[in-house]
A = this chain, B = another copy of it.
Amino acid sequence: MSNYTHETVPTQFVEVNGIRYAYRRFGKPGTIPLLFLEYFNSNMDGWDPDVTNSLAADHEVILFDNAGVGASGGKTPHTVAEMTKHSVAFCRALGLKQIHVVGFSLGGMIGQQLALEHPQLVGRLILLGTGPRGGEGMTFTELSPEEQADPMAFLLAAFFSPSEASQAAGREYMKRLESRKNDRDLPVSRDSAVAQLAAIREWGTIPATGRYATLKSITHPTLIVHGNQDIVVTPINAFILAEHLPNAQLIMYPDSSHGAQYQHRKAFLEHVKIFLSEGDSGVPDQDSIKSSVAWAG
């Protein structure tokens, strides 16, 4: 298994409750796997091969299409909570006792819900370009005809800042996405994308009471990564996560939008390495969690 790369690892399938989930698994065996949870309208081919291959040197990497997405069967649900259930079913089907989550945008919302509902299943959380339940400005609009017409131009505009340096990084990122030639994933259907949008909007709805109240219960060591000019999930959401999560480190990169981790991937990979190798001594004990919660309140 360890000889496979992002480019060569075959797509596999596992069936649970009549749903056939597509996944790809490679990297260093015998480690706690990194479970990659995808962003809106993306499939397993949407991850940067430089990032997955680099992380695979030290960790097992599992890319995974949630229900109804890409090559996976089933129907994409309309809530993050339901997507989380599918993620858990998938982990159980693979017999995974513990995972670290790498969740990007929508995937980071699922990651938070997973950590909240199944704290033992999750070791550490890496939250990329995402926001808390009921965050700021997280009520996304419908897919526009423009972005449907030219998804590459849309990606360059959404994932990278208007600067020349960022746009150049964006073009390189999109080139890297093509490095896997065979056994590509299936595109995300319009129905699946529409359901995902509904789920994101539901997640982004500001609750009448207790806004951000659940965050104090996610005590996992967490790395939050965001672009300081993110136009998809506004950067204040990353700050709110860092304020309210009891054990989260925030890293915000300059001159970058929703694809900050790809634009600054050299620094990002070093930062992830430090984060994943930190001893658990950094984890607050129960007393200190209580104190810091009172503090944050």
Q: Which residue of B lies closest to A296 (CB)?
A: B229
Cα(A243)–Cα(B294), bound, Å = 28
Asked whether A42 is an interface residue with its Cβ less than 8 Å from the other chain, the reply is no
A-side interface size class: 35 or more
Q: Which residue of B lies closest to A273 (CB)?
A: B270
Asked whether A69 is an interface residue with its Cβ less than 8 Å from the other chain, the reply is no
Does B229 contact A235, Cβ atoms closer than 8 Å? no
Asked whether A291 is an interface residue with its Cβ less than 8 Å from the other chain, the reply is yes
Cα(A295)–Cα(B278), bound, Å = 36
A166 to chain B, nearest CB (A): 7
Cα(A122)–Cα(B266), bound, Å = 24
Copies of this protein, total: 2
Does B255 contact A247, Cβ atoms closer than 8 Å? yes
Does B292 contact A161, Cβ atoms closer than 8 Å? yes
Q: Which residue of B lies closest to A264 (CB)?
A: B282
A10 to chain B, nearest CB (A): 35
A217 to chain B, nearest CB (A): 15
Asked whether A284 is an interface residue with its Cβ less than 8 Å from the other chain, the reply is yes
Q: Which residues of B contact A249 (CB under 8 A)?
A: 251-254, 267
Type the 1/0 row for A45-71, where 1 means its CB is closer than 8 Å to any CB of B: 000000000000000000000000000
Q: Which residues of B contact A264 (CB under 8 A)?
A: 282
Does A295 contact B252, Cβ atoms closer than 8 Å? no
Cα(A175)–Cα(B285), bound, Å = 23
Does B274 contact A250, Cβ atoms closer than 8 Å? no
Asked whether A146 is an interface residue with its Cβ less than 8 Å from the other chain, the reply is no
Q: Which residues of B contact A229 (CB under 8 A)?
A: 292, 295-296
Q: Which residues of B contact A248 (CB under 8 A)?
A: 228, 254
Type the 1/0 row for A231-264, where 1 means its CB is closer than 8 Å to any CB of B: 0000110010011011111111111000000001
Could you list 17 examples of A-B contacts with CB < 8 Å? Answer: A161-B291, A161-B292, A161-B295, A162-B292, A163-B288, A164-B288, A164-B291, A165-B284, A165-B288, A166-B288, A229-B292, A246-B255, A250-B251, A267-B274, A267-B278, A270-B274, A271-B274
Q: Which 10 A-B pairs have the closest CB atoms?
A: A163-B288, A250-B252, A163-B291, A162-B291, A165-B288, A239-B239, A164-B288, A255-B292, A247-B254, A242-B252
